[in-house]
Amino acid sequence: MYSKKLFLIGCFLTVLNVLTVINGMIYFFGMAGFSFVEWFFFNICAPSTMIFIAGFTLRKIWLMTAAVPLMLFYGFGGLFIFGWSGTALFSQASHLLMTAAVIFTGVTLWFDRESIRAGLAGLAGGVLLFILIYPFQQSFVTNRMDLVEKLQDPAFEEFIKNQGE
């Protein structure tokens, strides 16, 4: 698939992303008491990251690239929506790691030029998945201010309130 050095970097990045997904699940299910559907829409970063993790673990570049549109929007975009203090720092760590996973996927594709067709197919599938999920996710989050307030992130709360105006 690619060089040993790149593979080891990917392993390290994947382990860190697994840890952030687990951390988020503990928070959302255990501490905040969210249901599965609430977790899915409020922590869409975790399912997005799981696609990348599955792709790396199975060594399927198409699956890794399918996660890119979601991780770019929710991960890189999350860096500008969430606050940088308190419990939001856990979210921001996840967003930084998602951004690193996007960069890693691009570098992997650059060095594995034989997989460019599979990578582009995965990217197209990821764009389609994003187009399908985005309206439902945004509608769910903006209509559940009670859950937004549970997250105790003033920057995110303000952002969601402004979405409704």
- Higher confidence at residue 97 or residue 2? 97
Nearest to 24 by CA among 90, 95, 68, 89: 90
What pLDDT was estimated at residue 156?
A: 75
Cβ neighbours of 13 (radius 10 Å): 20
Number of domain units in the chain: 1
**Predicted TM-score of the model (pTM):** 0.89
Average pLDDT, integer, range 44-58:
97
Q: Residues 6 or more apart from 87 whose CB is under 8 A from it?
A: 27, 151, 152, 153
Q: Which domain holds residue 81?
A: 4-163
Q: What is the pLDDT of residues 87-117, one digit of tens each?
A: 788 889 999 999 999 999 999 999 888 889 9
- Name the token pair of 11: 């392993």
